[in-house]
Chains A and B, each alone.
Chain A
Amino acid sequence: MAIDTVRRGPSARKASRSLLAYAGILAVVGIFIFPFLTMITTSFKLPTDVFTLPPALLPETWTFENFGLALEAMPIDRYLWNTIVVASLSVIGTLVSCPLVAYALAKFEWRGRGVVFFIVLATMMLPPQVTMIPLYLVFDTVGLTGTIWPLVLPTFFGTPFFIFLMRQFMMNVPDDLIAAARLDGASEFRIYWSIVLPLAKPALATIGIFQFMWAWTDFLNPLIYLNDEANYTLSLGLYNFFSENGIAWGPLMAASVVFTVPALIVFLIGQRFFLSGLATSGLK
């Protein structure tokens, strides 16, 4: 883009073109943000303001009533806490396991490495439907269905997509650095812990945020495993609420806002690392 300013072209045409692009961007941004705004404004509407013709974006009178109604209909605080616990444990599991495996695939030459890497890639294509039923039976046999553990435990053993992403990133860690640390007598775990992991921070942030989002927004696994209302995540709570109250749009949107805000906060905090990590690791 800098080139444009160096070469002096017909500037009037260029200005009009960038104006056009600007208009296009603003239109698209408007369309993309509109459903989000609808969610927020509907959550602040009085029940009588929800069904209006023509539909209005803004409430006639702003009210917090819907949040109270939603909280009355379901223990949102409990669901919120459960979701936080599931998401946090999943992130911990992912951050403990995936970099370890990725490091083995990136920086050690061991027999079987090629095969294991191939299997990691192949399982990325495996539909969860194939393993879903036997896994359910196993968790059922050991008495863990209904608890959050089936949602959390697998993350402590690594997720193929994250292992792949981490591995691509760790390939770029200079071998010399590791060799030098060995010369200094550092143990392999010490090297991993104090050299490789700190270098991998952007990638760690990326997979951490990804995992948080996955766990936070997951619907299928909670639907299968959580049958005890005390352990519901927000996804299931919302699902139940909709099943029972259908078109109570105000409270439903209020609960939706509560569900969305934590994900937004995590994303805004991690955004910088996340997008740069996404750009620099993997996909090449």
Chain B
Amino acid sequence: MSIQARLPLRPSSSTKAEGAAPQQGSGRRRTARRDQKYGLLFASPWLIGFVAFIGLPIIASAFYSFTSFNLFQSPEFVGFANYSQLLADDRFYKAVFNTFFLALFGVPLGLALALALALLLNVNVKGQPLYRAVIYLPTIIPTIVVVYVWRWLLNAQYGFINEAISTIGLHRPLWLDDPMWTKPAILIIGFWTIGGTAVIYLAALKEVPAELHEAAKVDGAGPFLRFRHIVWPAITPVTLFQVVVSLIAYLQMFTQPYLLAQEGRNDVGAGPNDSMLTYAMYVYQNAFVYLKMGYASALAWVLFILILVLTFIILKSSKRWVHYGN
């Protein structure tokens, strides 16, 4: 390889071809050949990785979704049985409902909060780097620690959250023991770890041209109008990115609800009345607790198709509300 790599060194004509623009012919062909060779060579780790860790597993998973299969005996073809079983499965519907519920509230509220935080962090006052670090801090804490800290904070009897709630004279929820309150608990934890999204918004806000602000001010536009007509259009591309990313994250949410609901190791419960059973949790339970690998694969494929469809719809709709400037 080292000899080949040094090849361009040898023929002086290649040097000339690079330098002199006219009389290209063979030089351009050589460039094309070099690009082809090194492009493939540099990309090869991922090409191999894609086949091994993504491509073949996708095909295998599609195949398994048409089989009955539990680790210990080889897959047995069952046609669409898994998919029709899924349509009659109450826990499947429960998981879909819970997951969509979380996404429906979590994505818009989360992005609104992240944007509000970014606007605050963009105000010109002392100490902003420190405040930014504090807002970002929760995202560096291991998820399992985040969840356990919040289980403690949300403790119905001894937790700080209920203490604060009763201080302002409201009714104390039972949080993790009340199916009405488990999903808000998951959302609150999601909002606490919104710092990454906020930092990306902050970077986008810093790119909004100052001249536009100034011009609008001269025209007498107040902060609200300036946000509506200058800031918001400029950050719609980033918003599109954040909507897609956070929607996908919500649709695949596993660790937070799994650990919030956990009573014991490999416990298949998902909170009171299955109120924390998310789609990804249900896939995991079927695959690694019930060992129904075929059924779990079918579930995973339904999720994949849902994500593709929703992403496609969002990208389509974006033509109407995303502004690409310059």
- Is A110 a contact of B40 with CB atoms below 8 Å? yes
Check if A134 is an interface residue, CB within 8 A of chain B.
yes
CB distance from B207 to the nearest CB of A (A): 9
* Interface size, chain B (Cβ < 8 Å): 104
Residue B259 contacts which of A154, A239, A263 (CB distance < 8 angstroms)?
A239
Given A157-B53, A243-B264: A127 and B300 interface contact (C-beta under 8 Å): yes
List residues of chain B with CB within 8 A of the CB of A217: 141-144
For the complex, what is the distance from the CA of A216 to the CA of B143, rounded to whole Å? Answer: 10
- Is A108 a contact of B64 with CB atoms below 8 Å? no
Check if B307 is an interface residue, CB within 8 A of chain A.
yes
- Interface hit among A28-36, A59-67, A68-76, A197-205: A28-36
For the complex, what is the distance from the CA of A217 to the CA of B307, rounded to whole Å? Answer: 24
A-B contact sample (16 more), CB < 8 A, given A104-B41, A156-B45, A187-B9: A21-B125, A35-B138, A104-B42, A110-B39, A129-B296, A130-B304, A133-B297, A133-B300, A137-B293, A157-B48, A182-B18, A188-B5, A217-B143, A220-B255, A239-B262, A259-B142
- Is A51 a contact of B158 with CB atoms below 8 Å? yes
- Is B144 a contact of A238 with CB atoms below 8 Å? yes
Check if A183 is an interface residue, CB within 8 A of chain B.
yes
For the complex, what is the distance from the CA of A232 to the CA of B200, rounded to whole Å? Answer: 33
Check if B316 is an interface residue, CB within 8 A of chain A.
no
CB distance from A37 to the nearest CB of B (A): 10
Within 8 A of B (CB), among A224-260: 224, 234-235, 238-240, 242-244, 249, 252-253, 256, 259-260
12 pairs, CB–CB < 8 Å, chain A vs chain B: A35-B138, A104-B39, A104-B40, A116-B47, A126-B304, A130-B61, A130-B303, A131-B61, A134-B57, A217-B143, A242-B262, A263-B141
Within 8 A of A (CB), among B15-63: 15, 18-19, 32, 34-36, 38-43, 45-50, 52-54, 56-58, 60-61
Given A101-B46, A109-B39, A123-B54: A256 and B148 interface contact (C-beta under 8 Å): yes
CB distance from B227 to the nearest CB of A (A): 14
List residues of chain A with CB within 8 A of the CB of B132: 275
For the complex, what is the distance from the CA of A38 to the CA of B192, rounded to whole Å? Answer: 14
Within 8 A of A (CB), among B277-295: 280, 283-284, 287-288, 293
CB distance from A144 to the nearest CB of B (A): 13
- Is A129 a contact of B252 with CB atoms below 8 Å? yes
- Is B153 a contact of A38 with CB atoms below 8 Å? yes
Given A217-B143, A275-B199: A22 and B125 interface contact (C-beta under 8 Å): yes
List residues of chain B with CB within 8 A of the CB of A53: 157-158
For the complex, what is the distance from the CA of A235 to the CA of B142, rounded to whole Å? Answer: 8
CB distance from A213 to the nearest CB of B (A): 6
List residues of chain B with CB within 8 A of the CB of A213: 139-140
- Is A35 a contact of B50 with CB atoms below 8 Å? no
